[in-house]
Amino acid sequence: MSSSSFNGGFVPKQINTGAFSPPGSPEAAAPQAAGRIDDPYYLFGAASRTDELAISPASQFATGHPSPYYDFLTAEIDLQSEPAAGIATPVAAPVCRQPSVPRSGRPLNVVHIGPHLQLGGAEQWLLDLAGSLDPSVMRISRHVAVNAATIDVEYVTRLAEANISVEVGGPRAVQAAARDADILLSWGIQLDRYLGDAPRPLSVQVVHGDGPWNRFFLEGSRRTVDHFIAVSHRVRHRVCVDVPATVIYNGIDDRRLVRSRDRDETRRLLGFSRSDLVVAFCGRLAAEKRVDSIIEAIGCLPPRVKLLVIGSGHLESSLRQLADKHLPGRAIFTSSNGGMGDLYAAADIFCLASNQEGCSLAMLEAMLSGLPVVSTPVGCAAEVIEDMVTGLLFDGSPRDLTRALGLLTERDDWRMNLADDGRRLVERFAGARRMARDYQQLLRGLI
């Protein structure tokens, strides 16, 4: 299989596999210089070398949860409520895979195993993938969530609309799902703990981020996962370094970007004037997204620079208070409510200040919507953005973010050119249909 068939043939000029922490943080380390890609796609085999930049095993870094988004890691409600027999131990031999031989003339049946039913970026990825697969080739029929601590009604509704059945369960539910599947697709869990020694079909796990918890999930899935999908080269180099892995960038369904009103009307409804320069953030309001740095940076810019925060999360209240302190009358918090096209159109700049990412859907959406992007070099950002050409990269500090945003506020023509170049770039590879074709090609090849 040719590697060039993945990601629409897009091969980034550079990736940054160095450790990243914003200046001033306790774990701060200077990002290493971006390196040329010498092996842009790694297919069907174990890594031939040990990457010294790879993240350490979970036992060396599991010092606390980055946000309640990961509460399922310690809840273990499902594991405690079901018999422990059959649960895998780390030293056991690999589980034998049952051959996947689907009946002729029917699509491959994919069952998805995930951590919860809370709508976020990875959940949107699942919806976009399911909606873009060729139903004559394969379909996602079932979603098993291993923890019910948070149930997002909107997410469950959208899964039902995609004809995906939903259940919450532990080992028994996961093992039953595996018996019914031609392909088991998972993310965000230690699958060994749930699948145990039960027979299974082809098992593939998606690694959605470059942060330490992603390595934690990988370490707990070695016995029951045959292949890993990394959503960026940085994720593969830092998390999937010693396992068989393929890079497939996330794709977005541009139907979510449809506009229902003009820009001026949306800005008026949000409380912005025509002369305001609006910087937008979209995502979970959690510590790793570092929205506080965006607030601090904009506070150093002229009053006409405003902030639009799109999202929700456990830090919403404290971030609102911080905005009231640093940006009185200059920050608006809202939710998407299905109107992302209108919200992106109301903004002038998109900002991503995370200290860990995978392949940010919000960043791709913003670029496709014609917004210039300012981002930290995490996840796929440094692979997609060529600094000063298709976007701006900054070192994670509020001071450097103020500098980058200042460049865009001072030169309207350059800002628009940057946005145009970024949009043309992501149009090449960021579609959900391209992503679905890549998944179909890879999964069929693995079977």
Domain shared by 268 and 292, yes or no: yes
Quick one: 246 and 364 in the same domain?
no
Q: Is residue 64 part of a domain?
A: no
In this prediction the pTM is 0.86
How sure is the predictor about 37, in pLDDT bands with cuts at 50, 70 and 90? very low
Residue 404's domain comprises 255-427
Same domain for 177 and 158?
yes
Q: What is the mean pLDDT of the chain?
A: 84
Considering the domain architecture, whether residues 284 and 409 belong to the same structural domain is answered as yes
The answer on 363 and 444 residing in a single domain is no
Is 305 within a domain? yes
* Residues 124 and 174 both lie in one domain: yes
C-beta atoms surrounding 399 within 10 Å: 15
What DSSP line would sit under 7-76, residue for residue?
Answer: GGG---SEE--S--B-TTSTT-BPPPPPEE-S-S---SS--SS--TTSPPPHHHH----SSGGGTHHHH-
pLDDT of 151 above 90: no
If one counts the domains in the chain, the total is 2
The answer on 183 and 129 residing in a single domain is yes
Amino acid at 437: R
Q: What is the CATH number of the domain that holds 249?
A: 3.40.50.2000
pLDDT at 307 over 70: yes
d(CA 57, CA 71): 20
Q: Does any domain span residue 142?
A: yes
Least-confidence region, from 101-105, 154-158, 437-441 = 101-105
Q: What is the mean pLDDT of residues 303-317?
A: 95
Query: pLDDT tens for residues 47-73?
Result: 333 333 223 333 333 333 444 445 444
Q: Which amino acid is at 294?
A: I
Residue 266 lies in a domain: yes
pLDDT > 90 fraction of the chain, expressed in percent and rounded: 72
